[in-house]
Amino acid sequence: MRYRLTFLAGLSLGYVLGTRAGRERYEQLKKSARQIAQNPAVRNTAESAAQQGRVYAGKAFHTVSDKVGDRVPESVAQRVRSLRERDVNGSRGDDWGTSNT
């Protein structure tokens, strides 16, 4: 019960402070976030991090596949193969209907 009251108090306080800040502050924060996201240095860093994540995921895949071997159900193995066969740019969606955009 204590946690619920704390949560409700925090929610109420956030609502009151948010309404006092108003639409102008919201638009200002939105504009700042957009400028940061469009910064070439931020975009390059994000792409480098994504590339590194793909490299580590590939290493993890090989490690797990060596240890697990044939114990993976065929349906899972097919989906993993389809993910590995995607275009380098990630333009093709996977079996789940998602895309890498």
Q: What is the pLDDT of residues 57-79, one digit of tens each?
A: 888 888 887 777 667 777 877 88
Q: What is the pTM of this model?
A: 0.44
Q: What is the pLDDT of residues 10-31, one digit of tens each?
A: 888 888 777 777 778 778 878 9
Three-state secondary structure call for residue 90: coil
Contacts of 91 (CB under 8 A, 6+ apart): 99, 100
- Residue 22: left (phi > 0), alpha (psi -120 to 50), or beta? left
